Structure 1
Amino acid sequence: MADRDTLRLRLERGAAELGVVLSAEQVTLLLDYLAEFARWNRAYNLSAVRDIDKMLGRHLLDSLAVAPHIHGQRLIDVGTGGGLPGIVLAICFPQKHFTLLDSNGKKTRFLFHVKTQLGLDNVQVENTRVENLRPAELFDGVISRAFASLADMTLWCDLLINQTGRFYAMKGVFPADELASIGHSHQVHEQVSLCVPGEEGERHLLILGKR
C-alpha cells in the first residue's frame, strides 16, 4: 500500500492533468477523506474497491474529472453513497453548497462524520429517498454517479432543480440507449468524454436540462 506522500504526489499530478487547481489544504482534505473512506469501508461497505491506491484513481480522480464542468451555487448529489462525487466537489468548491442525499443510513452516518471531521460547512446530508425530499430552495444542479438511468434520473429529480438547472450524469460507456429514452422533456446540452489519469475504461459526463 502506498504511503501518504506517494498518494499526495499521485493526487497532485492527477489533478493537474485534469486541469483542476487544488491548494495544499484541499489536497490534505482530500487525502483525509480518502483515509476515512478506506477505514470506514471495512465495516460499512462503502465501495467494492478495497485498496486505497485504487480508490485514489477510481474515486477521487474520477470525481475530480467532472469538476471543471460543474456550474451553479446550490447542487445536490443524489445517491451519493460514501460521498462521491459530492464530498470531493465540496472540497474543491468551498464557495458552493452541496446537499448529499442517500437513503442508506450507514452511508449517511459516514457522511455526517466526514462533514464534521473535515469541517465542511458547505455540506448538508439528507438521509431519505429522492422522491421524499422537499427542498426549501430549488437546486442549480443535480449530480449522480451511476445512480440511475437518465430517464429515471430526470423523472425523479425534475422537481429538485430550477428551470435553468442542469442534470450532471456521470456514466461509464456512452449511454446511447438511455439518451433515446428520455423523450422530449429534456435536452442534452453537452456530452463530455473524460479521461481519468491512470484509469482504463470509458468515462462520460452528460449535461442535460429541461426543454
Structure 2
Amino acid sequence: MDTPLRDELRHTLDAGLAALRLDPALAAPLLDYLALLDRWNRTYNLTAIRDPREMVTLHLLDSLAMQPHVADIAALADLGTGPGLPGIPLAIATPALQVTLVESNGKKARFLREAVRQLGLGNARVAESRAEALDEPGRYQAITARALATLPDIIAVGGHLLAPGGRLLAMKGQRPDDEIAALPPGWRLDAIHPLAVPGLAAERHLVVVSNAG
C-alpha cells in the first residue's frame, strides 16, 4: 500500500475513530491489518470488497461500531469470521477481550494466523473449524457473527459455545423482526441497539440475544 493511499485512509479512519469516541492510537494497527488484508486479498479473494477506501468504512468502522458492547466481555467467539471481521478490529481495540476467530475455510484461516502473528495480537486465537464442530462448550460470554445466517441459525451452530446467561451479539442491517420472532425456546431478546457507522448511510443494528442459562 503506497504512502499517499495510506495517508488518505488514515484521514478517513482518524475521523471515524473520533466519531466512535475510540482512541486515535488504534489507527496504526488497524491500518497495518488493512494493508495485510489488501495484499492477501489480491491473491486469495478473502473479501468481495476490493477498494481499501471502502474497507475502512465497511470493514473497520462497521466492526468497531459494536466495540462499546464488548467492553465488559472477557471471551468472545467470532463465528464465520472470514478475514477476521469483526473479531480482529475488536481485538485491536479491546486488549482485555480474548477473541477466538472461528473459520473453517483453509485459506482464510491461514490469513488469520498470519494477521494475528504480524499484528502481535496476544488476545486473539484462530480456530480452524466449523462453528457447530468447535468443541468448547460454555467457554464464551458472547458469540458474534457479522455475516452468518439468521439469528436462529447462529444459535443452532454456535449456541453451545455460550456460558449460561451468555449473549449473542448479532450485527444486522434493518431490524430483523422475523428472525427475532423465530428465536428458539430458552432464548430471549435483550436489546436492539441502532448503530451509527461513520461514513455509512445504511441502517445498522446490534441485536443482543441471551440464553436462559
- Determine what percentage of the aligned residue pairs are the same residue: 44
Coordinate RMSD, CA, aligned: 1.5
Matched residue pairs, number?
Answer: 209
Counting only pairs closer than 5 Å after superposition, residues 1-211 of structure 1 correspond to structure 2 as 3-19=5-21, 21-24=22-25, 26-70=26-70, 71-135=72-136, 138-211=139-212
Q: Deviations over 1:27-50 (max 9, x none)?
A: 111000001111111111111111
Q: Distance in 1 between matches of 2:38 and 2:201?
A: 22
Q: TM-score, normalised by structure 2?
A: 0.93
1:137/1:124 CA distance change after superposition, 3 Å: farther
Q: TM-score, normalised by structure 1?
A: 0.94
Give 1:188 shift: 1.0
Helix, strand or coil for the counterpart of 1:3?
helix
Helix, strand or coil for the counterpart of 1:56?
helix
Helix, strand or coil for the counterpart of 1:49?
coil
Give 1:136 shift: 7.2
Give 1:183 shift: 3.7
Q: Deviations over 1:91-149 (max 9, x none)?
A: 00111110000110000100001011111111110111111111276101001102121
Give 1:184 shift: 3.2
Gaps of 5+ in 1: none
Which amino acid in 1 is paired with 2:63?
A: S
